[in-house]
């Protein structure tokens, strides 16, 4: 089902006209109200009147995460604080968080795109939706929550953590939809297994998973372990939160960007040149409807490509492919570029391994060294013979050594660089409660 059929299937010519109208309005808004943008436009000799066609967006300056930091906390807001009814912030690993604000209208638009996304991912009015995205400054919990309420679902606002209790609630409340990060879905699957609860005891049909990068191989694993269809939802707080784009359950291939609200471009992250459809690069988004915190050509840092092909689901909004990674998560190991997601694909595609892993980066002299710690699958571990075994004993087993060498070889062949693999016993890598920490940088 579609939440907003008229918008979601709008013919391209109409959609483009709507986008242009909205782009002109938002450009006016930031020019009049945000000194940062006024200055950037002036430097380029630009005024809002220069925006006559949709492609004229390319005349506009980019906005970067560092611009948000430099105007911390409210310096880029286009509304006075007394018109802002909500603040969110993204944690940010270093320094101050990036802060965003919403007017009452913005909250409504956000609920709209989240309602669309949920329906696009298989939810229907009347469903019980188990929402295990974190509630708080993080946009995941409240974003999905408002969308679920708007579309007429019953929301279970459980947030992250207390996984055993979550499993009990999933069973007792018979949720049909699970919303959380893919790594947390895996955690839930493990805990269910420990508790001796089979997916058949649950009513789950769809998982709406995002907020971190994950691979097709991870999708297959989660689907099999939870007995559901797993779909990808994308968003970022700087743009709105979850609900920027969503995969449809019909095609299950690429995420529809809600283009009446968000104008996408793909650029070469080095040259900032706009790339044609199909080419991989950094996703850039311009807000078309935000009031309190519109962004112009925001550089998301996320690497993907756009697919304008018509979709079997009937939606006309363009699709973006699964995010390959963030440009700042890209590892450069001895000069070779590697995304953690590429390592994940190989690990998760190996049946003797479990999908729990961590990548540790170190300096070895002047060079970078990458080590991957990955758990062996409990069934493989059990087949080694002993009930419990420490890491060293385990690694001394010939079967373990053969497996380790095989995985190292496969990584080297696929990625073109040596990655050291350390197999560890099941349940030894910290479990995710929200966004998983996949890379530990000790350099
Ligand atoms: O993670 C918003 C969100 C919440 C999206 C719940 C989906 C579900 P931030 O904390 O600002 O917002 O982090 C945004 O997370 O730039 C991507 O790098 C990454 N990300 C989000 N969704 C996906 C996804 C939320 N589906 C950053 N695949 C983004 C890959 C994702 N990466």
Q: Which of 279, 294, 327 is the last residue of a domain?
A: 327
State the average pLDDT over residues 336-351.
93
State the average pLDDT over residues 277-300.
98
pLDDT higher than threshold 80 for residue 93:
no
Residue 66: pLDDT band (50, 70, 90) is very high
Among 63, 69, 210, 439, say which to mutate for ligand 1: greatest number of ligand atoms within 8 Å of CB.
210
- pLDDT reported for residue 365: 86
pLDDT higher than threshold 80 for residue 91:
no
* CATH label of the domain that carries residue 424: 3.30.300.30
Question: 308 with 245, same domain?
Answer: yes
Number of domains in the chain: 2
Rounded CA gap, 133 and 321, in Å? 22
Question: 153 with 54, same domain?
Answer: yes
State the average pLDDT over residues 404-426.
95
Question: 297 with 382, same domain?
Answer: no
Pocket of ligand 1 from Cβ distances under 6 Å: 90, 133, 138-140, 210-213, 232-237, 241-242, 300, 302, 323, 326
Which residue is listed with tokens 């112009």? 296
Question: 316 with 335, same domain?
Answer: no
Q: Which of 356, 439, 344, 429 is nearest to 93 (CA)?
A: 439
DSSP 8-state assignment for residue 276: P
- pLDDT reported for residue 203: 98
Rounded CA gap, 323 and 227, in Å? 24
Per-residue pLDDT of 258-288, as tens digits, reads 999 999 999 999 999 999 999 999 999 999 9
Question: Exposed, middle or buried, 241 (CB in 10 Å: 0-12/13-18/19+)?
Answer: buried
Buried b (16+ CB within 10 A) or exposed e, 314-343: ebbbbbbbbbbbbbebbbebeeeebbbbbb
Q: Which of 292, 327, 362 is the last residue of a domain?
A: 327
Cα(263) to ligand 1 centroid in Å equals: 17
- pLDDT reported for residue 303: 97
pLDDT higher than threshold 70 for residue 422:
yes
Cα(146) to ligand 1 centroid in Å equals: 17
- Take residue 187 and report the two structure tokens written for it: 């955690």
Question: 261 with 341, same domain?
Answer: no
Question: 340 with 321, same domain?
Answer: no
Question: 369 with 422, same domain?
Answer: yes
Residue 222: pLDDT band (50, 70, 90) is very high
Q: Which of 286, 308, 327 is the last residue of a domain?
A: 327
Among 133, 232, 235, 324, say which to mutate for ligand 1: greatest number of ligand atoms within 8 Å of CB.
235
Cβ pair 137, 328 in contact under 8 A: no
**Ligand 1 atom with least separation from CA of 233:** 26
DSSP 8-state assignment for residue 47: -
- pLDDT reported for residue 330: 86
- pLDDT reported for residue 134: 97
Cα(50) to ligand 1 centroid in Å equals: 33
- pLDDT reported for residue 49: 98
State the average pLDDT over residues 333-360.
93
Question: 314 with 337, same domain?
Answer: no
% helix, strand, coil for the chain, step of 5: 35, 25, 40
C-alpha distance from residue 81 to each of 31, 53, 77, 215, 268 (Å): 18, 33, 8, 40, 36
Question: What is the domain range of residue 141?
Answer: 1-327
- pLDDT reported for residue 289: 98
Nearest CA to ligand 1 atom 12: 236
What mean pLDDT, rounded, does the chain reach?
Answer: 96
Question: 82 with 206, same domain?
Answer: yes
Question: 373 with 311, same domain?
Answer: no
Question: 403 with 353, same domain?
Answer: yes
Question: 304 with 342, same domain?
Answer: no
Per-residue pLDDT of 359-383, as tens digits, reads 999 988 888 889 999 999 999 999 9
Q: DSSP E strands: which ranges in 335-438?
A: 336-338, 353-364, 367-376, 420-424
Cα(235) to ligand 1 centroid in Å equals: 5
Cα(442) to ligand 1 centroid in Å equals: 24
Residue 94: pLDDT band (50, 70, 90) is low
Cα(300) to ligand 1 centroid in Å equals: 10
Question: Exposed, middle or buried, 263 (CB in 10 Å: 0-12/13-18/19+)?
Answer: buried
Cα(144) to ligand 1 centroid in Å equals: 13
Per-residue pLDDT of 377-395, as tens digits, reads 999 999 988 667 889 999 9
* CATH label of the domain that carries residue 15: 3.40.50.12780
pLDDT higher than threshold 80 for residue 405:
yes
State the average pLDDT over residues 340-355.
94
Per-residue pLDDT of 164-201, as tens digits, reads 999 999 999 999 999 999 999 999 999 999 999 999 99
pLDDT higher than threshold 80 for residue 92:
no
């Amino acid at each position: 089902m579609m939440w907003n059929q008229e918008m979601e299937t709008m013919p391209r010519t109409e959609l483009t006209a709507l986008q242009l109208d909205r782009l002109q309005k938002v450009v006016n808004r930031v020019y009049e109200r945000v000194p940062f943008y006024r200055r950037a436009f002036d430097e380029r000799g630009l005024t809002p009147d220069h925006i006559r066609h949709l492609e004229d967006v390319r005349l506009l300056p980019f906005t970067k995460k560092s611009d948000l930091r430099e105007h911390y906390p409210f310096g880029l807001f286009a509304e006075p604080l007394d018109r802002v009814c909500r603040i969110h912030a993204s944690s940010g690993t270093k320094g101050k968080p990036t802060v965003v604000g919403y007017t009452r209208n913005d909250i409504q638009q956000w609920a709209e795109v989240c309602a669309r996304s949920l329906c696009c991912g298989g939810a229907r009015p009347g469903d019980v939706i188990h929402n295990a995205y974190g509630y708080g400054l993080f946009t995941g919990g409240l974003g999905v929550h408002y969308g679920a309420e708007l579309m007429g679902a019953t929301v279970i606002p459980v947030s992250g953590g207390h996984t055993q209790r979550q499993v009990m609630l999933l069973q007792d409340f018979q949720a049909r939809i699970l919303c959380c990060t893919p790594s947390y879905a895996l955690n839930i699957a493990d805990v269910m297994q420990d508790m001796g609860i089979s997916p058949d005891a649950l009513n789950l049909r769809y998982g709406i998973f995002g907020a971190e990068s994950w691979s097709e191989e991870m999708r297959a694993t989660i689907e099999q372990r939870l007995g559901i269809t797993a779909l990808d939802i994308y968003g970022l707080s700087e743009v709105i939160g979850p609900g920027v784009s969503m995969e449809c359950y019909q095609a299950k291939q690429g995420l529809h960007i809600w283009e009446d609200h968000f104008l996408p471009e793909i650029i070469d992250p080095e040259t900032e040149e706009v790339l044609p459809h199909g080419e991989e690069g950094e996703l850039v988004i311009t807000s078309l409807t935000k009031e309190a915190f519109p962004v112009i050509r925001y550089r998301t840092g996320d690497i993907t490509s756009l697919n304008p092909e018509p979709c079997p689901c009937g939606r006309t909004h363009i699709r973006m492919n699964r995010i390959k990674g963030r440009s700042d998560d890209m590892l450069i190991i001895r000069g070779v570029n590697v995304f953690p997601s590429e390592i994940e694909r190989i690990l998760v595609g190996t049946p003797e391994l479990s999908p729990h892993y961590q990548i540790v980066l170190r300096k070895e002299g002047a060079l970078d060294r990458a080590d991957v710690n990955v758990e062996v699958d409990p069934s493989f571990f059990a087949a080694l013979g002993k009930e419990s075994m420490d890491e060293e004993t385990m690694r001394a087993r010939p079967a373990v050594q053969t497996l380790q060498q095989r995985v190292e070889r496969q990584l080297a062949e696929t990625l073109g660089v040596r990655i050291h693999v350390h197999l560890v016993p099941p349940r030894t890598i910290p479990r995710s409660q929200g966004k998983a920490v996949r890379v530990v940088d000790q350099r």
